[in-house]
Amino acid sequence: MTFLLTLLAAIFVLGPLIALHEWGHYIVARLCGVKVLTYSIGFGPKLFGWTSKKSGIDYRISALPLGGYVKMLDEREGEVAKDELHLAFNRQHPLKKIAIVAAGPIMNFVIAIALFWVLFMTPSEQLATKIGQVLPDTPAAIAQLPVGDKIVAIDGHEVQTWEGINYRLAGRMGETDNVSITLQSESQASNATKTYQAPVKTFMQGTSQGKDALTSFGMLPWQPDIEPIVGDLSADGAASRQGLKVGDRITAINDTEIKDWISATRIIRDNPETLLNFMVMRDGKSVQLQIMPQGKKDNLGNDFGQIGAMVAQSEIVIPDAYKATVVYGPGESLVKSFEKTEQLAVMTVSSMGKMLSGMIGLDNLSGPITIAKVAKQSFDISWQMVLSTAALISLSLAVLNLLPIPVLDGGHIVYYLIELIRGKPLSEGIQMAGLNIGLLLLAGFMVLAIGNDISRLF
């Protein structure tokens, strides 16, 4: 059942993105006077479809849902009647070819911008960007960032939400340098700020790999002060098997004093398959236990620990000082959606460069299985998360397709730019050699990505 729901979620999110990407190629081809033969969602054998009586175009859904294609009249793929030569793709001006090929990725950029625009226009109550906690032995702690101050900029870029902070920090993955954090203190004048320099070393790699950017950096938003009292236990969990009981109050883990539930869960999550010494208060007496968190994997294949203990339910009240209502008008939302699309596109390209240079591991590459799992998870959270996930995937498709690899749209654009400059296309031999190299590169990346996906399952 879970597999079926994951598959349906992936189809629901990826299907429209692929269809609109191909529609970009399709509609611009027709506007440029090129005859379209087939518009397909998916590759391989045709599952179902129809042929337009007016245009003769074969619209189809194909068996392999890993993309799609628009087949156009082209002398390189078959004989073309003399009276239709002017409709063939290969006979078009290079600028028309570039427009047709670029239309797919551009459509994905448009989709991302539109979805981010909707999300920015949706009013939301969020946690203010005030630092709620600084973790020890982290860049934030070394920089002595004061708890309670408001984060207003990262590396000179204005930030208004914790999501924005997370993205800015994630963009520094793998780097060894100083991160500039600009803070505003309530005790100072409203426009008075101070910038701190926090040193990072191979950020989010090594022992920090798998942790989110905020935790790796060591500054967290406000978190509720939940007493570390066990409220429930799963029957098959490590906690139940190794002696923890409902009502126990956790006072220390591995000699680290525990004052709240979140601190306890952080230590547990960071230590999968590691024997931990627990001190708990039970009926007024101190009891020592040894519990080994079970190793689990998240959607990205990162290991985390879990003991099967739940906190007692309690009402959480967020202090007014840590609340912030974020509201943008249509115009401001559109500007911000363009800014966010640009930021994430640059970050995506930068991450690819870091993987190739070895700054970050190739195990960060994800394939269709991880994408499907993330899509399913987004449906479990909210409609906003579904739109956000779709926007991020659409943006990734746009950037990926614009890479200058011959088999991708970006590679074809390079060919047609050369044709525009030379006044004639590259020879068929050179184009085919480039296509074969591109196929090998793409196949290698796909094998690596799917291999990463499979390793995350186990």
Contacts of 144 (CB under 8 A, 6+ apart): 196
Angstrom distance (rounded) from CA 251 to CA 277: 11
Angle, helices 330-357/162-170, rounded to nearest 10 degrees: 30
Catalytic-role residue among 22, 77, 163, 332: 22
Q: Name the DSSP class of 229.
A: B
Burial (CB count <10 Å: 0-12, 13-18, 19+), residue 374? buried
Cα–Cα nearest to 236, from 312, 288, 309, 297 = 309
Cα angle 248, 225, 265; round to 5? 55
151 DSSP β-pair partners: 183
Element (H, E) at 157: strand 157-158
Cα–Cα nearest to 248, from 264, 230, 221, 273 = 230
Angstrom distance (rounded) from CA 23 to CA 336: 26
Q: Kindly list the distances between the CA atom of residue 452 and the CA atoms of 294, 356, 456, in Å, as whole numbers in the listed order.
A: 22, 16, 6
Angstrom distance (rounded) from CA 12 to CA 345: 23
The torsion angles phi and psi of 339, rounded to 5 degrees, stand at -60, -45
Residues 406-415 as b/e (b if ≥16 CB within 10 A, e otherwise) read bbbbbbbbbb
**Is the distance from CB of 217 to CB of 134 less than 8 angstroms?**
no
Q: Is 22 a catalytic residue?
A: yes
Angstrom distance (rounded) from CA 406 to CA 62: 24
- Just list the catalytic residues: 22
